[in-house]
Amino acid sequence: MTLEEITYLWEPDGYVAGLTAATNHAALLDHLLAWRPLADDALTAAPAPSAFKTFRAGLLKERRGQYAGDGWAERYGAILIPYLMLRVSPIADRFGVPWGTAYIRLRDEGYITEEVDTAIWTAA
């Protein structure tokens, strides 16, 4: 995805679906690289190849509504909920607008800056 794709009606639905669909380490990295403009911290938190099974097991637990544990959440939480999405999503929900509308409004007001095709939350 690119930042240019974000329109007023855009939703980041593909992010969650892609995490679940990534059944191996390479697929996960490809997915996180594709979403890097909005989820740079998720890429940083990506598991090593040797830890992918642990990540995947915890992800599937979370998808079933079961808590994967404090250690798992601390290590991989940025993948489940990247920081920028964590900041924009509640605003979109609160005002009943699409995610893209909230993102664009926050960007236009200076809460988000776009640098080298990566969005950064700049508000305190």
pLDDT at 116: 85
pLDDT of 124 reads 66
pLDDT, mean of each 10-residue run, the chain (124 residues): 94 95 98 96 97 98 97 97 97 98 97 93 85
3: how many CB neighbours lie within 10 A of its CB?
Answer: 14
pLDDT of residue 123: 83
- Which residues have CB under 8 Å from 32's CB, separation 6+? 39, 42, 43, 46, 79
Q: How many domains does the chain have?
A: 1
Interatomic CA distance for residues 88 and 83, integer angstroms: 9
Q: What is the pLDDT of residue 103?
A: 98
| pLDDT score for 117 | 86
For residue 108, the enclosing domain spans: 3-121
Instruction: Read off the pTM.
Output: 0.91
